[in-house]
Amino acid sequence: MRAVRSRLILLTAAASSAALHIAGVLTANPIWRYAEVLSIGLLLAYAIISRSQISRWVLWVALAVLLVDAVRTMPAARGSDSYGEMVLVPGPSIDTPSAFESGLSLCWPLVTAACVLLVAWRRGGWHLHTVAPAVVGAALIIGYAVFRVVGIWRDVAADPPRATGTDEAETMALSTAVLPPLVLGITALALAAALAGHGRRLASIGAALLALMALPLLDTCIGMVPMPLSVSSHHALFAWHAITPTLSIPQPMPALTAAVELTAYLLLVAGLTDRPVRTHAPAVEV
CB 185 within 8 A of CB 138: yes
DSSP state of 276: P
3-state secondary structure 195-228: HHHCCCHHHHHHHHHHHHCHHHHHHHHHHCCCCC
Evaluate the CA torsion angle 115, 119, 125, 127 in order and state its sign. Answer: positive
What is the Rg, in whole angstroms, of the alpha carbon atoms belonging to the chain?
20
Per-residue model confidence (pLDDT) at position 166: 53
| Contact residues for 285 (Cβ-Cβ < 8 A; gap 6+) | 126
pLDDT in single tens digits along all 286 residues of the chain: 666 788 889 999 999 999 999 999 999 999 999 999 999 999 999 998 886 656 678 999 999 999 999 999 998 776 555 444 444 334 444 444 578 888 899 999 999 999 999 999 988 778 888 999 999 999 999 999 999 988 888 877 776 655 445 556 666 778 888 999 999 999 999 999 999 999 999 999 999 999 999 999 999 998 888 776 666 666 788 988 888 899 889 999 999 999 999 999 999 999 998 766 655 544 544 4
Rounded distance between C-alpha atoms, residue 149 and residue 181, angstroms = 13
∠ CA(49), CA(54), CA(56), 5° rounding? 45
Residue 284, SS3 per DSSP: coil
Alpha-helix residue ranges (DSSP H) falling in the chain: 2-27, 35-49, 56-72, 96-121, 128-158, 166-177, 179-197, 201-212, 214-223, 252-272
Rounded distance between C-alpha atoms, residue 270 and residue 124, angstroms = 21
What are phi and psi for residue 127, nearest 5 degrees?
-135, 150
DSSP state of 80: S
Per-residue model confidence (pLDDT) at position 94: 44
Per-residue model confidence (pLDDT) at position 285: 44
Q: Which CA distances in Å does 273 have to 43, 50, 270?
A: 11, 6, 5
Per-residue model confidence (pLDDT) at position 89: 39
Per-residue model confidence (pLDDT) at position 68: 96
Per-residue model confidence (pLDDT) at position 141: 97
Rounded distance between C-alpha atoms, residue 95 and residue 75, angstroms = 28
Which of 185, 3, 168 has the alpha carbon at shortest distance from 94? Answer: 168
CB 200 within 8 A of CB 276: yes
Per-residue model confidence (pLDDT) at position 266: 97
CB 14 within 8 A of CB 42: yes
For the entire predicted model, the pTM comes to 0.86
Rounded distance between C-alpha atoms, residue 190 and residue 167, angstroms = 35
Per-residue model confidence (pLDDT) at position 122: 86
